[in-house]
Amino acid sequence: MKKCMRCSGLAALLAAAVVMGATSVWAQLAERRSTLQDQQQVAVTIYNSNLALVKDQRRVTLPEGESLLALREVAAGMKPETALLRSLKNAADVRVVEQSFDFDLLTPGKLLEKYVGRTVQVVRVHPQTGAETFESAQVLAANGGVVLRMGDRIETGIPGRLVYPDVPANLRDRPTLVVQVATGRAGVRDLELSYLTSGLSWQADYVAELDAQDAHLDLSGWVTLNNQSGATYERARLQLVAGDVHRVGREDLNMRGFEERAMKAMAAAPAMAEESLLDYHLYTLDRPTTIRENQVKQVALLSGSGVPVNKEYLLRGSDYYYQGRHAELGKKLKAAVFLEFTNSDKAGLGVPLPKGILRVYKKDRAGNAQFVGEDRIDHTPKNEKVRLRLGDAFDVTADRTQTDYKKIAGGPQETVIETAYRLELKNAKTQPVTVKVEEPMPGDWQILAQSHPHLKQDAHTAAWQIAVPAEGRTVLTYRVRVRY
């Protein structure tokens, strides 16, 4: 046991020696700083899931042998394990030995913490003469305040102005990636630093304006960028990835005035170029754009005009209606209002639509655009339908009544119920409407009698298309037998 303890102690000493040796070598190397002045270009690819890929190209001068390169003004949200520095012209010309990410930023509190155990100067000013006196003090603690040893006494709080001899090397004013590199010869290098970062996100927002007949709409798609990554990307090449990327291991924005600007820009807004990327879709902005730190920005994504649209009034029941005796099932039930269009070339679109919120407007008699509803759409491929629920109709309502109920058979093996219903559909509008009635049927069902023909929409749904005249009403009656 003693022998093992001696071996363990020796191993620990050797490990400490290696660390101290590496630290001393690191400290002896000259540090060369690279700022945004060295940046040749930057590209940013933003994903849906608060993740972005940054490719930062810089031109720097490196000495022969090993040196420290401090790449300043990288994203504070950088995931350092993903950072990769390479030479653009000759990959073997620059070799990365090790790297560290310094994100502990310079503040008065951080500076004081770094000087615990070290000596600072305390400067006092005489209240009458204005003369300054200097006294050395050792910082003993900086947790929730400061504790100083001044001569043979202990002081708490700051009795004067503190003066520090320098700034510690690991305390930076901006997030910095420090890379120890080795080169075979001195000279200018074009380097690219690529890394993943959090704090950059995007979402699609759509604005649509209906025409007077509710038959066509003009659609404008915008990308809302939110940069909380801790860095600014000047004149960046911007790309967006739409799709749900798997990771091992989105939001309300201030939209005031945004919709109005979007509608005015519908016709003139250039579309972003779109292409497939594996099983995702990649959108590329056709011009550089600056994404500033702590900024929310809108960029035009797509636009289409005269897109054919279908409006639908839907009244949907519930399957519990058919399992018991209920009599009256509702008065003045409101029909839901839906809009549906096809994302196709023929409709004036035909570009895969990223998921987002689509807001719909319509002009009133005075020509002012009024908000009439919104819905969230999922990622929608080309030639697929987009279906929006805008709200509930004010003028299209229904009264639903169960008019008959019979339990024909009931037992542990099977229950058979025969029941009848009356729906009075009312339309207070000055033009006729068609209301779709959807009834979810439980178990094995059969329509025995009906006033209007139904369509078996699926195994559990019967549907009727009921025409209701202007300022009039239509009655739908039917009898159904269910087994379950």
Kindly report, residue by residue over 192-242, the tens digit of the pLDDT: 999 999 999 998 999 999 999 999 999 999 889 999 999 999 999 999 888
Res. 8: pLDDT tops 80? no
Q: Which of these, 348, 232, 225, 231, lies nearest to 283 by C-alpha position?
A: 225
- pLDDT score at 481: 94
pLDDT of residue 257: 41
The gap from C-alpha 449 to its chain's centroid, in whole angstroms, comes to: 52
Out of 2-6, 102-106, 173-177, 461-465, least confident range: 2-6
pLDDT at 314 over 90: yes
pLDDT reported for residue 12: 41
Between 50 and 332, name the one with better pLDDT. Answer: 332
Kindly state the greatest CA–CA separation across the chain. 108
Strands of the sheet with 94-102, listed across from one edge: 31-34, 65-72, 176-183, 94-102
pLDDT for residue 21: 42
pLDDT of residue 261: 40
Top-confidence range, 48-57, 144-153, 250-259, 469-478: 469-478
> What pLDDT sits at residue 358?
95
For the chain, what's the residue count? 484
Higher pLDDT, 379 or 385: 385
Range with the poorest average pLDDT among 81-85, 107-111, 139-143, 162-166: 107-111
**What is the number of other CB atoms lying within 10 angstroms of the CB of residue 55?**
16
Q: What mean pLDDT comes out for the span 285-299? A: 91
pLDDT on residue 279: 58
pLDDT value, residue 246: 55
Higher pLDDT among residues 165 and 437, named by residue: 437
Asked if residue 376 has pLDDT above 90, the reply is yes
Whether pLDDT at 446 is above 70: yes
Sign of the alpha-carbon torsion through 69, 71, 76, 79: negative
Average pLDDT, stretch 441-466?
94
Name the β-bridge partners of 181: 67, 96
> Which among 472, 394, 467 has a CA at the least distance from the CA of 430?
472
Q: How confident is the model at residue 267, as a pLDDT? A: 37
Judge whether 415 and 441 are in contact, CB under 8 Å.
no
Which SS3 state, helix, strand or coil, does residue 37 take? helix
What mean pLDDT is predicted for residues 80-108? 86
Residue 218: what residue type?
D
For the cut 90, the answer to whether the pLDDT of residue 28 exceeds it is no
**pLDDT for res 140:** 93
**Residue 247 banded pLDDT, cuts 50, 70, 90:** low
| pLDDT score recorded for residue 144 | 79
CB contact at 8 A, 476 and 425: yes
Per the model's pLDDT, the better-predicted residue between 264 and 433 turns out to be 433
Mean of pLDDT values over 413-440: 94
**Mean pLDDT (whole number) for 367-382:** 92
Provide the mean pLDDT of the chain.
84
Average pLDDT of span 402-418: 86
Q: Is the pLDDT of residue 254 over 60?
A: no
Name the strands in the sheet holding 295-308, side by side, starting at the edge strand that comes first in the sequence: 295-308, 216-227, 200-210, 356-363, 369-377
Q: Sorting pLDDT into bands at 50, 70 and 90, what band is 276?
A: low
Q: Is the model's pLDDT at 11 over the cut of 50? A: no
How far apart, in whole angstroms, are the C-alpha atoms of residue 467 and residue 464? 10
Helices (H) and strands (E) in the chain, counts: 3, 31
| Confidence label for 245 from pLDDT (cuts 50, 70 and 90) | low
Look at residue 6 and tell me whether its pLDDT is greater than 50. Answer: no
Q: Is residue 82 a contact partner of residue 74, using CB atoms and an 8 Å limit? A: no
